[in-house]
Structure 1
Amino acid sequence: MAVLNQRSLARCLLFAYTLGLCFFYTSAELQRFEHPTKVDKSLSFLVVGDWGRRGAFNQSQVAFQMGIIGEKLDIDFVVSTGDNFYDNGLTSEEDKAFEESFTKIYTAKSLQKQWYSVLGNHDYRGNAEAQLSPVLRKIDSRWLCLRSFIVNSELAEILFVDTTPFVKAYFTDAEGHTYDWRGFKSRKAYISNLLKEVESTLKESTAKWKIVVGHHTIRSVGHHGDTNELTQWLLPILQANNVDFYMNGHDHCLEHISDSDSPVQFLTSGAGSKAWRGDIKGLNRGGLNFFYDGQGFMSAQFTKTEAEIVFYDVFGKVLHRWNMVKQLHQSI
């Protein structure tokens, strides 16, 4: 069903674009995908971001360790936080970078599960729509990438948010790059409608765990720091709707920051390949629990009442472990 929905969506996009109808995703309802929990009602997955470099910059080594941890945890799926293909996304659906940076790298048996992916700013520098195409699912059935969508399980609701259009600089060419904004008639309308969808989804959710995934940071002491547009527009919605975790990439590091005004935990997993050694800002930032400026990834495990977040380096060493017990009144 997921494949059929994506194919139909892609055809609608192609038809609309051919006719010059640039209104795609300005008001569309978010697609939902059901992912069952295990027999014991637990849920586990890995989170990795900023990875697609044909195995270079330790991408292959990170993938190898992901395979080991993935088997140990019996993961249900993998979450990619964006910047899936460097430096400038994919050129087309036939771009060999897809197989050379994804299929031929994440070969472990435990990683042959569904991958849920969002687009990052580097993905938008190429043919962004190529990554959304169902053609890639024919090449590798694990791949599922949409701009924004929802994954439901019995334990958690995971809302994937397309954060790149929030950043104004990408539209004004302030960074000197070209971005694939086909299908965007109005940035303002796109953001407004997406925020409405996010807010209504979170308000209506009865999930025991609420998780939001985006590419860009909300809180970070890494290279890019906080994303001002997200702290202004998205963060208040997360705080008001009892979101437990915001998971992202963008900064090529691993970090855990606790929000000072709500229970939200900010988890950065953007160290899938190239990392920036020594590039850290705001060492005295309140709420900073953990920061690591090398390659690695993250795991997330959930039961009805407990969550465990673990960060690993390129050798599979545990760098940071954090546990949370869900209070009864939050689960009602």
Structure 2
Amino acid sequence: MALTLVSILMAAIPVTYCYPTAFQDLGEISSKTSIKFLAVGDWGGVPYPPYITAVQKATAREMSKVAEQMGADFILALGDNFYYRGVDSVDSPRFKDTFENVYTAKSLQVPWYVVAGNHDHAGNVKAQIEYSQKSDRWKFPSYYYELNFRIPNTGKMLTIIMLDTIMLCGNSDDFVDEKPRGPLRAVDANRQLIWLQERLARSKADFLLVAGHYPVWSVSEHGPTECLLQRLHPLLIKYKATAYLCGHDHNLQYIEESGVGYIVSGAGNFLDPDVRHWNKVPEGSIRFFTGQASTLGGFIHAEVTKNKMIVTFFQAKGTSLYRTVLSQRDLLLGGNL
């Protein structure tokens, strides 16, 4: 009965909310044995000339260097793509001013897989989805979706589940430090949660990543997101997710808890050294934090190989700050079985 109900609910999900599962094309792969990508959040400029910030410009420059030197098959854009109120239409000049004209390096002409943040939801998220039809690299097929990649010449698989955490938890007002107060439409939140659980439960990926805008754990201004602790956190542990990637807090963090890596990469446009929630995360889980203005911004580079995922945190002024290694999932011990 439960499976029947899930099937009915899954069938009812609007096509604009989730997207059919398919393997993504990595292009020429003859000699490759890994997948490499960058992840950056909260990168969305400002709504007045010159439509970018010094941090965004510096971070874009360093992203291009790292992508050229270390390789990047794609980029994860983790929300707050356009400050402060998203875009109003698919023809908004912000797409050019804050995206196309900023990330111009050849090494960044790769797919950008996008999710929406709270500032995007203050505008027209559907317009950002529609922009996928106008740009060769902007890939935002629906509010939430799944990406599958074959790790070249290894027989292994990487899955990334892209979530709309604002649809799941509700919007927040950064200017009065509001927390998400609950979803605008409970039916949409529940559909996404059912879809997510179904995707996690059936995943046989060797590396399983989940990405959204709000953090599960964070030591900074916004702190842990209670809604995600209740609705997402248990699923990440149960189904042995490799890592959760997000933005929202304007810094770089790495927190590891219950076998899951929590990556905050929200330093693409602003910086915030705030650590007011340092004691609100599990004891001993904090491995790395920086939000200092002297870094000029930041992002992460990840490489997924046959048996491990190497994550490196970069500052925009040109050096790596921290590196960690995550193991592939062990599906023989519970979780999916």
Same fold (TM over 0.5): yes
Maintained 8 Å contact 1:27/1:194: no
2:308 counterpart of 1:306: yes
Maintained 8 Å contact 2:78/2:117: yes
- Any idea what the Cα deviations from partners look like across 1:181-228, whole Å, max 9, x if unmatched? xxx9x7221111111111111111111100000000000001100111
1:177-192 superposed matches below 5 A = 187-192=185-190
2:137 counterpart of 1:142: yes
- Across the two proteins, how many residue pairs are aligned to each other? 297
2:42 corresponds to which of 47, 50, 66: 50
TM-score (norm 1): 0.83
Maintained 8 Å contact 1:253/1:270: yes
Partner of residue 31, structure 1:
20
The Cα of 1:108 is off from its aligned counterpart by 0.9
Partner of residue 255, structure 1:
253
Maintained 8 Å contact 1:47/1:80: yes
Maintained 8 Å contact 2:18/2:144: no
Q: Please provide the CA RMSD for this pair.
A: 2.6
User: Cα gap change, 1:26/1:193 in structure 2, threshold over 3 Å: closer, same or farther?
Assistant: farther
Q: Which amino acid aligns with 2:61?
A: F
The Cα of 1:147 is off from its aligned counterpart by 0.7
Q: Which runs of 5+ in 1 are unaligned?
A: 1-22, 177-183
User: Cα gap change, 1:58/1:165 in structure 2, threshold over 3 Å: closer, same or farther?
Assistant: same
Partner of residue 224, structure 1:
222
Partner of residue 117, structure 1:
114
User: Cα gap change, 1:234/1:25 in structure 2, threshold over 3 Å: closer, same or farther?
Assistant: farther
Q: Which amino acid aligns with 1:125?
A: A
The Cα of 1:128 is off from its aligned counterpart by 1.6
Question: 3-state DSSP class of the match of 1:268?
Answer: strand
- Any idea what the Cα deviations from partners look like across 1:273-320, whole Å, max 9, x if unmatched? 111234542258420000111420001101110110000111121111
**% identical equivalent positions:** 30
Maintained 8 Å contact 1:30/1:197: no
- CA distance in 2 between counterparts of 1:24 and 1:195 reads 11
Q: Which runs of 5+ in 2 are unaligned?
A: 1-11, 46-50, 151-156
- Any idea what the Cα deviations from partners look like across 1:85-115, whole Å, max 9, x if unmatched? 0011002111111111000000111100000
TM-score (norm 2): 0.81
Maintained 8 Å contact 1:279/1:293: no
Q: Which amino acid aligns with 1:85?
A: F
2:210 corresponds to which of 209, 212, 220: 212
